[in-house]
Amino acid sequence: MTRCSSKSRSMKKKPYLIDSTLRDGEQAPGVVFHLHEKMHIASLLDEANIPEVEVGTPAMGRQEITDIKTIVNAGFNFKTLAWCRGTKDDVDAAIKAGTQGVNISFPVSDIHLAAMGKNRLWVLDTMAEIIRYASSKFEYVAIGAQDASRSDDQFLSEFLDKAIHLNVSRVRIADTVGILNPHTTSNLFRKIKRIFPDVVLEFHGHNDLGMATANTITALSSGATCASVTVNGIGERAGNTALEEIVMAMELSSSMSHQIKTTVLGELSHFVSKASGIPIPVTKPITGGNALLHESGIHTNILLKNRATYQIIDASRIGLSEQGFVFGKHSGKASLIDFLQDNNIFLSDIEDYNVILAKIKKYSGSLKRALTNQEVLSLVRIEKD
């Protein structure tokens, strides 16, 4: 029943990631990457050992084709993929861009079909025509089931069956509006794999309900071979599955093997934030400013003995420097003593530390924020004087 190529069969050995920062990531409202920024992002993705990159949408026009072609010809190690709608014109634009492969997207939910003025028969007939054409032009052809998470089960099965008989390299199951949760994601992928055990599945998650990372891990545990991600999770609306989050979740939470060089993740995250103009929230997992930062005296006292007690990520593992502690309302003596000793300040009595700590708490409360290291040192100097 299935006729997947030997190449796609070999890709099933372990989960892998497809980065879409330069395509779906740039579709985030207001984001524009200039070519030099795209090239630097691509170079960091290559350094991180990302195996495949969706580099853009050639149908956007001449400049996009030129940019894609520049990336394609730069000699990076990753495979290059262009995103296309189900039209011959889009495929022709991808041919001009020179990518190794294409992902051709078709709507599969009734709500999308109705809005586009199409029907299910159009999908099945058109995909046969377009896939055959694209297969004669590209090394590999993937097909996307757009809004698959809201599609009719029977039609999604017909779509998959057709795709398999057209010998596509893989099928992208897109949670286009982020409606899935881990339970429904698992049910969907297990159901597909029961009916089509040899199909190569990719999961494309959106984060509208905050479950993109969890859904992606679930998909990879339930039959998906690969998943598409973006750096910092940037993308339309609430964004996509975040590359850095899924990599560390695979490694630390799910014991899944991956080939990503994690020490590049910090630099990659911060550069994409700068280039996109989208700040990294301080509470964002992995690379947010507070992700590896501590204030609570209850925690810091034990953290000084063993960082692993309240922190599962070693900063150096993601290419960042280990952060110290911040001082505020919840600080304790242990972190203050450690900080001052690091600055060659040794107070004569434990009560002196208590006095400084009380001032830190009062000052922090009035400012409604943590104090900077310089502010703490200033308080110490005032007290000593």
Tokens describing residue 78: 């990753």
- Least trusted range by pLDDT, from 10-24, 177-191, 241-255: 10-24
Each residue's pLDDT tens digit, 369-381: 888 888 888 887 7
| pTM, to two decimals | 0.87
What are the tokens at 26?
A: 């740039």
For residue 379, the SS3 value is helix
Over 70: is that where the pLDDT of 302 sits? no
Cα→Cα distances 229→39, 58, 241, 246, 356, Å:
18, 19, 5, 8, 47
pLDDT in tens, 121-173: 999 999 999 999 999 999 999 999 999 999 999 999 999 999 999 999 999 99
What confidence tier does 314 reach under pLDDT thresholds 50, 70, 90?
confident
Q: What confidence score (pLDDT) does residue 292 get?
A: 75
Residues 20-40: pLDDT tens digits? 999 999 999 999 999 999 999
Q: Is the pLDDT of residue 80 over 90?
A: yes
Q: Which of 212, 215, 289, 259 minimizes the C-alpha distance to 24?
A: 212
Of the candidates 41, 30, 23, 77, the residue with the CA atom closest to the CA atom of residue 269: 41
In order of start, what are the domains of the chain with their CATH numbers?
6-276 (3.20.20.70), 297-384 (no CATH)
pLDDT at residue number 5: 37
- Would you say the C-alpha torsion 243, 247, 248, 253 has a positive or negative sign? positive
For residue 164, how many C-alpha atoms fall within 13 Å in the half-sphere facing its CB? 19
Statement: residue 8 has pLDDT above 50: no
307/300 Cα distance (integer angstroms): 9
**Vertex 168 angle, CA 14 and 254, to 5°:** 20
Closest CA to 363 of 352, 351, 349, 377: 377
Report the percentage of the chain scoring pLDDT > 70: 91
